[in-house]
Every structure is written in C-alpha cells, then in structure tokens.
Amino acid sequence: MRLLYLGDIVGRAGRALAVEKIPELRKSLKLDIVVINGENAAAGFGITSKICTELFEAGVDVISTGNHIWDQKETKSHISGEPRLIRPLNFPSGTPGRGSVMVQDARGRNVLVMNVMGQVFMNALDDPFAAVDAELKKYALGSTVKFILVDIHGEATSEKMAMGHFCDGRASLVVGTHSHVPTADAQILDGGTAYQTDAGMCGDYNSVIGMDKAEPLQRFTRKMSTGRFTPALGEATLCGVYVETDDQTGLAKRIEPLRLGARLHEHIPTV
C-alpha cells in the first residue's frame, strides 16, 4: 500500500497548494490513501467545515488535528457528524468527535488512522501511550487492518521518538506533527514501523513556523504583543512523508520525505 501523510496546513497559502497538488500527487505516486493534519488550516487556528470539504474533494481521505482543534466554534458540532475529521485520541471521555477512524482504499483494504497529543510542554490530556496502546490492541496489523498510522502531535522530540519505539512492529507509520519543521530522520525502525519525528508543515516557510514574521519577532525581541499572529501568505511548500507497506504484514518497506514547493530543497519520491 502507498500512503502520503502531509504535515500541518498553515493558513491560505498552505491550503491552496495542498488542494492544487494532492490530485497530481495521487496520480504520480499512485497513492492509495492521503492523510493531512488540518489543525492550522483556518487562518492558522483550527479548521472549518468548508475547508474540510475542500480537502476531501481534493483527494484527502482523513484529516487529523491537534491542540488547535477547538479554535473554530463550528468544529464542536461539525466533528460529531464527520468521522474523517479526527481529534487527539487522549482527550477525556465525552469530548466531541473521535480520535481514530477506519477508512478503506479503492481496493477495499482497511486503513486505521489515529491521532494523539503529547503531554510534554502541551495542554494536559490523558496518557497518550495508554490511549494508543488500547487502540492498537483492537486490531491485527496485516490481517484485520492493512495500514495503521499514528499521528503524534507534540512539542518534544523525545516524546515523539518514544512513541515511535512504543508502536514499533504494531503500526505501519508513526509520524510527528506540531513543530512545523520537517526533521531529517525518516527511517524504518527495528520492528518494521516507518517513523519521522516531524512531517513539517504545508505553508510559507519564509515565516516563523508559518506565521508572518513581524508579530513573533516583536514578542521575542520586545516581550510584548502588538496584535494577533497571522499566517504568512507567500509561496508555500508542502512537506510530508511517503510510505510503502507490505500487505501481508502491514509493516513498512519504504519511507521517504516529501518536500514540494517554493523554499526548501525539493524532494519528491519516485515510483
């Protein structure tokens, strides 16, 4: 199976490029599934039902999120009726929406996507390791499900790495989000799980993690706020990871980063 995971969409620039390029990437990489993190898609803060529709129509199968999931008021009602939009699994019981979803590719193969949020330097949620462990125990990788993706939305690289090793041999891909900077450690772990600490973002990299530079610089240099953070609107770059798995085991045979766009050194896998 071939899956493309794209990191956090930041604002209009990242959103427009994703909508433009995903149909092309589905064809050129012969993709079976596309997953994207959409938690910064609406002007940098949250996601709307309209944006969800745009992404699904472009060829996205599942949208994961993170700590900005509730920034748009409409999300609390929209997420309950849209299972393909998921929020972190380790929110307390009773939180709207769900933390995982099962989808099928065009050949009818089951793909499980789960989203979890780290605890280090993040909002206090339930134990992400216990939440992921309980979910993984429900499925047999390579049998009842052909691909399991774990999106760990977190600040600390150590926590993301620990999650990768915790899931090794039980998931097809563990990928980090939230930092908005792609890491250079795409690898297949000892047990066969593909891993990258952070997928990076889909947005304008002539920025401070996707935001227009003026306000972050003001806050760092003068320790005062003069306004809201707003997404940078220059030419965007898509960042993510491409993974191929063995259908018999659900484990990874190949992982490569994807960088496509304006500013970073471009890297597009070939198939």
pLDDT, tens digit, for every residue of 1-55? 999 999 999 999 999 999 999 999 999 999 999 999 999 999 999 999 999 999 9
d(CA 179, CA 154): 7
Structural domain contains residue 224:
no
Contacts of 199 (CB under 8 A, 6+ apart): 5, 6, 7, 8, 37, 175, 176, 177, 182, 239, 240, 241
Query: 147 lies in a domain?
Result: yes
Asked if pLDDT for residue 226 goes beyond 90, the answer is: no
Which pTM does this prediction carry?
A: 0.95
Would residue 158 count as lying in a domain?
yes
pLDDT of 196-214, one tens digit each?
A: 999 999 999 999 999 999 9
Q: Is residue 241 part of a domain?
A: yes
In the chain the beta strands, taken as DSSP E runs, fall at 2-6, 8-9, 33-37, 62-64, 100-104, 110-117, 147-153, 173-177, 187-188, 194-196, 201-202, 237-245, 252-261
Q: Are 171 and 149 in contact (CB under 8 A)?
A: yes
The chain-wide mean pLDDT, for the chain, equals 96
Please give the residue range of the domain that contains residue 77: 2-205+237-261
Number of domains making up the chain:
1
Tokens of 161: 């790495």
Q: Which two tokens stand for residue 32?
A: 């079976």
CATH code for the domain in which residue 246 is found: 3.60.21.10
- Check whether 100 has a pLDDT greater than 90: yes
Residue 124 binned pLDDT confidence (cut-offs 50, 70, 90): confident
Q: How confident is the model at residue 227 (pLDDT cuts 50, 70, 90)?
A: confident
Q: Is residue 228 very low, low, confident or very high in pLDDT (cuts 50, 70, 90)?
A: confident
What pLDDT does residue 268 have? 96
| pLDDT 10s digits, 153-166 | 999 999 999 999 99
Catalytic sites, residue numbers: 68
Placement of tokens 């798995």 in the chain: 245
Inside any domain, residue 167: yes
What tens digit of pLDDT does each residue of 172-190 get?
A: 999 999 999 999 999 999 9
- Give which of 125, 122, 213 is closest to 176, Cα–Cα: 122
Within a domain: residue 171?
Answer: yes
pLDDT in tens, 245-269: 999 999 999 999 999 998 999 999 9
The pLDDT of residue 224: 86
**What is the pLDDT at residue 129?**
98
Within-domain flag for 172: yes
Residue 251 contacts residue 11 (beta carbons within 8 Å): no
Answer yes or no: is pLDDT of 237 > 90. Answer: yes
97 is a domain residue: yes
Whether residue 123 is predicted with pLDDT greater than 90 in this model: the reply is no
